[in-house]
Structure 1
Amino acid sequence: MKLVTVLMLAALPLSCYAGSGCPTLEDVIEETIDPTVDATQYVQDLQEFIPDDATAKALKEVKQCFLSESNETLDNVRVMMETIYDSKWCARY
């Protein structure tokens, strides 16, 4: 049991580095995938990154695309994002 605890503690710092390396990007992607966030709330949450109305309209359309997908597809997108984060091309970042 002590060995398991030691291994878990050794792996903890590695799990802290998992992801894109940019928590803001990860939050935006997760909010994009999240089916409980509607398009209006999505644009409001990203307001600091939106320079004009054309961008806001485009983001609403993108969010609507994700809202029309099944939960299975959204789960697959999450898996895809984790695969990208863990890829050799992202390893140096």
Structure 2
Amino acid sequence: MKLVTVLMLVALPLYCYAGSGCAVLEEVVEETIDPSLSTTEYLAAIREYVSDDATAKAAVELKQCFLNQSNETLNNIRVMQVISIFGSEDYRERSEINCLLL
């Protein structure tokens, strides 16, 4: 089951790299870390990327892991996501990134 989760997390960045645009990845990550979205709603939102029951179960387990985290941890994950998108630049000084963090 862990292998399915790892493969799912690896497949999304590759999907973006293939030319579809990283808006897909950003949307899925935001849905994953959104504490107001239940596991059922999350699964419905990512249904397009879920091919079988094993993947659905892994996605629900992944979402549940994030539901168990504090808001501070979820905000730190958002910051990490911004850093990974914009690289090692001084992201705190860029106004568009500050807007993303709000």
Normalising by structure 2, we get a TM-score of 0.64
> Which contiguous aligned blocks of 4+ residues in structure 1 show a shift greater than 2 angstroms?
none
Structure 1 match to 2:59: 59
Larger Rg: 1
Provide structure 2 residue ranges, at least 5 long, that are not aligned to the other structure. Answer: 1-20, 89-102
Secondary structure at the residue paired with 1:51?
coil
Farther-moved stretch of structure 1 (40-49 vs 64-73): 40-49
Q: Which has the higher relative contact order, 1 or 2, with Cα contacts under 8 A spaced 6 or more apart?
A: 1
C-alpha deviation, 1:35, in angstroms: 0.3
One-letter identity of the residue aligned with 1:46: I
In structure 2, the residue matched to 1:82 is 82
Counting matched residue pairs gives: 68
- The structure with the greater share of residues assigned to helix is 2
- Provide the C-alpha distance between the structure 2 equivalents of 1:80 and 1:22, rounded to a whole number of angstroms: 15
- Tell me the alpha carbon deviations over residues 16-72 of structure 1, each in whole angstroms, 9 at most, x when there is no partner: xxxxx5111100000001000011110111111111000000000000000000000
DSSP-derived class of the 1:35 partner: coil
Q: Distance in 2 between matches of 1:30 and 1:74?
A: 10
**Matches of 1:41 and 1:53 in 2, distance apart?**
16
How many Å separate the matches in 2 of 1:39 and 1:67?
A: 9
Deviation, 1:83, is 0.6
Which amino acid in the other structure matches residue 45 of structure 2?
D
Scaled by the length of structure 1, the TM-score of the pair is: 0.70
Q: How does 1:1-93 map to 2 (within 5 A)?
A: 21-87=21-87
CA RMSD of aligned residues (A): 1.0
